[in-house]
Amino acid sequence: MTSDADLDFYRAHSAFSDPGRADAALTGAPTTIAGIRALVSRLVFHYRASGDPTRLGFAPERLHEIDLRYADDMLARLAELDTALLDPGRASTDRILGCCRDYTVLFVSLARRLGIPARARVGFSNYFIEGWNLDHVVAEVWDSEQQRWRLVDSQFSDGDIEVPFSFDDVPRDRFITGTDAWRGCRSGELDPERFVVFPDLMVPDLRSWPYLLHNLVFDLAGLNKQEMILWEIWGVLESLEAADAALAAELDVIAARLADPAVTQAELAALYDDDRFRVPAEVTNFSPLDGGKRPVRLRTSVPSAD
């Protein structure tokens, strides 16, 4: 049974999800899960799903938008592109360039500002390419009527792609959390070679065991309200390799606790409180559109409107 205190933790903003100075512009935003999802699905343009964005009307100098990490910065940039922040007819080029993580951060931001417990889950989707589990991030919201967490994919509005389920309640065998992917592959139930960023992206670090480790650590971070950019690393991820036997056995124990519906937020925090897994003040960013490597210092609070 999830406690009220645990739900309050996920109702409160993180430094990543707080709309900050952009909060006033969200007055009149949708108040239902379906409404929030529909709005958010039109605020981000996926930087690689439709091909080279510079051939789709995005100026090359806009490519840096994929590294926007904080909801207040995302919303401010959206307002620069089109002041009608809540207009469902926003042009594609007036959306920010981003990825699944950014849809999720914006969804979580709008949900939390309404007091809805929400968090990011990092894992893999198998509804993009049959037979493959692709790197993906969705939100998880607390359903007070059914007393359960349910998965919401805010990258899509109804009708965007054909699936046999609602994006407001994605089945857990269609989006597999980093936690469940690790456990399934370790048990032999799932094939680690089918878990990738993208099938034809033949980079060893971005597929199989190294990336299963990546998404397990990111899932643990997300459960602790650290909604990280997917191409950043820290701690145990610095080696960019598969876990050795000792670490893998330790991660088995951690994943088993994360997967337990009875796990408390205090226990999640304790599992996360380890220099190997906890997000530090500075992380390393490998932005995919410039091929660079740079240190990034994270903020701990949202700047005031002053």
- Provide the pLDDT for residue 302: 67
163 residue type, one letter = V
Q: d(Cα 244, Cα 221) in Å, to the nearest integer? A: 21
Taking all residues of the chain, what is their mean pLDDT, rounded to a whole number? 95
Task: Say if CB 165 and CB 104 are below 8 A apart.
Answer: no
Q: Please state at what angle helix 208-223 crosses helix 265-272, rounded to 10 degrees.
A: 130
Please give the pLDDT value at position 303: 67
What is the dihedral angle through the alpha carbons of 38, 39, 44, 46, rounded to the nearest 10 degrees? 0
Nearest-angstrom CA–CA distance, 119 and 88: 24
DSSP assignments along the chain, one per residue: ---HHHHHHHHS--TTT--GGGGGGGTT---SHHHHHHHHTTTEEETTTTS-GGGTT--GGGGGGGG--SHHHHHHHHHHH-S-TT-TT--GGGSEEE-HHHHHHHHHHHHHHTT--EEEEEEEESSSSTT-EEEEEEEEEEETTTTEEEEE-TT--TTSS--SS-TTSB-TTTEEEHHHHHHHHHHTSS-GGGEES-TT---GGGBHHHHHHHHHHHHHHHHTT----TTEE-GGGGG-S---HHHHHHHHHHHHHHH-TT--HHHHHHHH-STTTS--SEEEE--TTTT--EEEEPPSSPPP--
* pLDDT above 80 (res 237): yes
Please give the average per-residue pLDDT across 99-123, as a whole number: 98
> What residues have CB less than 8 Å from 161, skipping those under 6 apart?
127
* Residues 131, 18: Cα–Cα separation, whole Å: 37
Distance, C-alpha 162 to centroid of its chain: 22
For the chain, the domains span: 4-157+168-297
Q: How many other β-carbons are positioned within 10 Å of the β-carbon of residue 226?
A: 17
Digit-coded pLDDT (tens) for 267-300: 999 999 999 999 999 999 999 987 678 999 999 7
Q: What is the pTM of this model?
A: 0.96
| Secondary structure of 208-225 in HEC code, one letter for each residue | HHHHHHHHHHHHHHHHCC
Over the stretch 137-165, which tens digit does the pLDDT of each residue have?
999 999 999 999 999 999 999 889 999 99
- Least confident span in 17-21, 48-52, 119-123, 255-259: 48-52
pLDDT range class, residue 11, cuts 50, 70, 90: very high
